Chains A and B, each alone.
Chain A
């Protein structure tokens, strides 16, 4: 990191004002102005860096500027690199990098919508995070009150890109879907059965989450973090706690670190098992889904015994976990895992033995590795398309540095391999939990409660079952937050579905979508 900082200072003396270091040892490069394009370009091309996220903050009242933050991840470097670009409140705009880097297309537009900062040169600057019928408001500006009552919704105004040609027509689907899933709108342009082009519209479940984080006291905000994406309650809750802990310099006791790892992996297993069943179900192999549902019940039963909640809510806390485990609970982990492991292998053997199921999954919904890299796809979907990233290995947190595991990566990018990544990861997760139980140290399960100092910033990353979850916080007065940025892996991965469905038949869309299984609520917040 030191040599890289030196190199950047030498190469971009005009752009860089200073290098700041946060309490948690995070290097932040403060720029002179809003233009981060040259350094971004250099980091991406010469340094093989990846722009993990870009987000904004309103510091107009305190410092007279907005800030854009660019978070980079470099192979082989456990530290994240951040650029901080000030934007004058009188000239609220910044140069876009989306034209060269489609990965931040939605994220720059989100900044436009929520902060009113114009992304100059954006290839598609239309609204994304606020729907077209919204008045001209910028909810994440500090002068916009959380309780603002907006005029009632008067109907759809979004214009989809038309599709012309003989036999070409469009199929609108959603936001209320046929199954028990979250709301979003899909507009398929089709020529007969094959899909020519899919247009997505998200943010139906936008519920002011990031704004609300600026209101709630931090200890209560942990429960809001658990409600960002309900299937990842523990991962998001923990990512949030970890960010606050880093900002405040709170040391999490070793026992809590291992407990957190065990719970994160149980969340992964429960979701991967359910997804394996649901993928089979979507190609008509119903019995596999029945078994998967049964196995998931075993896992969530264990969750309940370990945390009081089937979906791991109310367990993570600032400084550790809320409740300690007695020996009987710890022993139950191995007892349940042994059954889950056996049953899961049986289930996979059943799926493997069904030729008609395999037939539907192989070569369906291919996401090419180049496209995955270009779109910044992360997590399960990324690893099935050659994107070799895993926060647990690349930026080890909690007890992961003590626990060996393998990261499965495939180049094929089809539904079959997104399933395969999940199958491999269930096995790895079981191994991680066993090792964590064997090494589970004694001691305290939570650091003592103390006030959170104001004005501290920290970035935290967690490998949720879906992929890389990022939380960034700036602490404020009275144990509250000035800002909490939430980045769910789904935000990057949605546009990848557009690429994966192209040329596939409409009837395969459900299984392709399920093989990604992205969070609408995590995207929309």
Chain B
């Protein structure tokens, strides 16, 4: 017992105070890619290299339509490596959670050239940037936490990558319980479902039942590229794709897997949603 206490005092406070303080990110950390649409002269190599189809191009009648979907992106950096000239760069941004699926999609329209490259950016839409930075959400949180938030995690077909980071939310470094947020064993005790995907054919019914067993008002967060869109698996004979193909989703948390701070940011965003609804 003495040893245990001694060790605890020796270690001191392990908790990183996100979102009050910015997290300590390694210089090498890959967040989402960023696109300089005006400088981007050829989207084809990036689209070809993207493992999940997050970058897509549609050429029609002398015009090129490019979409970038952060809900499919696994932050691998292949688009940056494939693109010359620095129009695509990996950033260290990870606070990407959004309440609308369309907010995760960027689009750009170009004039198509005969050699296959494109020019003259005609328009670009970069989502609606609905996401609030974690810090602002944290300030708002004091208002809401007259009550606590109970989360039921549901793995609807994940590879277990997201689960690892969700488990990490409970360790002393990320310590989600300091917000009064805790994970519960039954959907009947939950305010929120934190769902990873892709939703497999074999988990569809279990997910529907879990959702039905969660009392209203409830919020659902779809976690990770697979939870949002099916990710690299997409929809196939065994997978239905993203969580919103099966149950309504309130918050989308991109990443592969989202780092614990990104999950926390998304959960706090969802809590804001819940306040609006209550």
Within 8 A of A (CB), among B134-163: 153-163
1/0 per residue, CB under 8 A from A, across B151-183: the answer is 001111111111111111011110000000001
A116 at interface by CB-CB < 8 Å: no
Which residues of A have CB within 8 Å of B160? 182, 229-231, 519-521
Give Cα distance in the complex from A39 to B83, angstroms. 54
- Could you tell me if A353 and B3 are in contact, using CB atoms closer than 8 angstroms? yes
- Could you tell me if B200 and A206 are in contact, using CB atoms closer than 8 angstroms? yes
Given contacts A211-B236, A296-B168, contact A308 B3 (CB under 8 A): no
Q: Looking across the interface, which residue of chain B has its beta carbon closest to that of A228?
A: B159
For A147, A183, A209, the residue with the greatest tally of chain B CB atoms inside 10 Å of its CB is: A183
Q: List 5 A-B contacts (CB under 8 A).
A: A204-B202, A220-B51, A230-B162, A294-B14, A308-B28
B155 contacts which of A205, A223, A296, A310 (Cβ < 8 Å)? A205
B238 contacts which of A207, A229, A305, A307 (Cβ < 8 Å)? A207
- Could you tell me if B237 and A208 are in contact, using CB atoms closer than 8 angstroms? yes
Distance from A344 Cβ to chain B, minimum over Cβ atoms (Å): 12
- Could you tell me if B161 and A223 are in contact, using CB atoms closer than 8 angstroms? no
Given contacts A153-B202, A183-B206, A521-B159, contact A223 B168 (CB under 8 A): no
The 4 closest A-B pairs by CB, nearest first: A230-B161, A293-B171, A178-B185, A230-B159
- Could you tell me if A206 and B202 are in contact, using CB atoms closer than 8 angstroms? yes
Which residues of B have CB within 8 Å of A224? 51, 232
A212 at interface by CB-CB < 8 Å: yes
Give Cα distance in the complex from A293 to B175, angstroms. 10
Q: Looking across the interface, which residue of chain A has its beta carbon closest to that of B31?
A: A308
Give the A interface residue count (CB, 8 A). Answer: 73
- Could you tell me if B168 and A297 are in contact, using CB atoms closer than 8 angstroms? yes
- Could you tell me if B237 and A148 are in contact, using CB atoms closer than 8 angstroms? yes
A131 at interface by CB-CB < 8 Å: yes
Q: Given A233-B161, A300-B168, output 19 extra A-B contacts at Cβ < 8 Å.
A: A147-B237, A183-B155, A183-B156, A204-B203, A206-B200, A207-B198, A207-B200, A227-B159, A227-B233, A293-B168, A293-B172, A297-B173, A308-B90, A309-B75, A311-B257, A314-B74, A314-B78, A323-B28, A521-B158
B202 contacts which of A147, A205, A521 (Cβ < 8 Å)? A205
- Could you tell me if A223 and B164 are in contact, using CB atoms closer than 8 angstroms? no
B36 at interface by CB-CB < 8 Å: no
A301 contacts which of B4, B26, B186, B256 (Cβ < 8 Å)? B26
For A131, A211, A297, A519, the residue with the greatest tally of chain B CB atoms inside 10 Å of its CB is: A297
Which residues of A have CB within 8 Å of B187? 176
Which residues of A have CB within 8 Å of B237? 137, 139, 144-150, 208, 211
Distance from B51 Cβ to chain A, minimum over Cβ atoms (Å): 4
Give Cα distance in the complex from A359 to B51, angstroms. 49
Within 8 A of A (CB), among B5-42: 7-8, 11, 14, 24-30
B273 at interface by CB-CB < 8 Å: no
B166 contacts which of A180, A205, A211 (Cβ < 8 Å)? A180
Give Cα distance in the complex from A449 to B29, angstroms. 25
Within 8 A of B (CB), among A118-177: 131, 137, 139, 144-150, 152-153, 155-156, 175-176
1/0 per residue, CB under 8 A from B, across A286-319: the answer is 0100110110110011001111111101100000
- Could you tell me if A308 and B235 are in contact, using CB atoms closer than 8 angstroms? no
For B8, B153, B159, B236, the residue with the greatest tally of chain A CB atoms inside 10 Å of its CB is: B159
Within 8 A of B (CB), among A339-382: 346, 349-350, 353
B244 at interface by CB-CB < 8 Å: no
B205 at interface by CB-CB < 8 Å: yes
Give Cα distance in the complex from A322 to B27, angstroms. 16
- Could you tell me if B158 and A223 are in contact, using CB atoms closer than 8 angstroms? no
- Could you tell me if B77 and A314 are in contact, using CB atoms closer than 8 angstroms? yes
A308 contacts which of B7, B29, B163, B201 (Cβ < 8 Å)? B29
A186 at interface by CB-CB < 8 Å: no
- Could you tell me if B26 and A207 are in contact, using CB atoms closer than 8 angstroms? no
Which residues of B have CB within 8 Å of A227? 159, 161, 226, 231-233
A23 at interface by CB-CB < 8 Å: no
- Could you tell me if A178 and B233 are in contact, using CB atoms closer than 8 angstroms? no
- Could you tell me if A153 and B77 are in contact, using CB atoms closer than 8 angstroms? no
- Could you tell me if B186 and A155 are in contact, using CB atoms closer than 8 angstroms? no
Which residues of B have CB within 8 Å of A182? 155, 158, 160, 163
Q: Looking across the interface, which residue of chain A has its beta carbon closest to that of B199?
A: A207
B29 contacts which of A147, A203, A304, A311 (Cβ < 8 Å)? A304
- Could you tell me if B159 and A179 are in contact, using CB atoms closer than 8 angstroms? no
A205 contacts which of B75, B164, B172, B200 (Cβ < 8 Å)? B200
B52 at interface by CB-CB < 8 Å: yes
Distance from A303 Cβ to chain B, minimum over Cβ atoms (Å): 9
- Could you tell me if A305 and B27 are in contact, using CB atoms closer than 8 angstroms? yes
Give Cα distance in the complex from A182 to B167, angstroms. 12
A294 contacts which of B162, B163, B173, B206 (Cβ < 8 Å)? B173
Distance from B195 Cβ to chain A, minimum over Cβ atoms (Å): 11
Q: Looking across the interface, which residue of chain B has its beta carbon closest to that of A288?
A: B4
Q: Looking across the interface, which residue of chain B has its beta carbon closest to that of A519?
A: B160
Which residues of A have CB within 8 Å of B78? 314
Q: Looking across the interface, which residue of chain B has its beta carbon closest to that of A343?
A: B11
Distance from A219 Cβ to chain B, minimum over Cβ atoms (Å): 8
Give Cα distance in the complex from A314 to B49, angstroms. 13
B259 at interface by CB-CB < 8 Å: yes
Q: Looking across the interface, which residue of chain A has its beta carbon closest to that of B233?
A: A207
- Could you tell me if A297 and B200 are in contact, using CB atoms closer than 8 angstroms? no
Give Cα distance in the complex from A148 to B239, angstroms. 10
Which residues of A have CB within 8 Å of B4? 287, 350, 353
Which residues of A have CB within 8 Å of B30? 308-309, 314
- Could you tell me if A287 and B8 are in contact, using CB atoms closer than 8 angstroms? yes
Which residues of A have CB within 8 Å of B111? none
Which residues of A have CB within 8 Å of B165? 310-311
Which residues of A have CB within 8 Å of B201? 150, 153, 206
Which residues of A have CB within 8 Å of B29? 304, 308-309
- Could you tell me if A207 and B157 are in contact, using CB atoms closer than 8 angstroms? yes
Which residues of B have CB within 8 Å of A349? 3
Within 8 A of B (CB), among A313-339: 313-314, 322-323, 329
Give Cα distance in the complex from A112 to B113, angstroms. 52
A79 at interface by CB-CB < 8 Å: no
A216 at interface by CB-CB < 8 Å: yes
Q: Looking across the interface, which residue of chain A has its beta carbon closest to that of B24?
A: A301
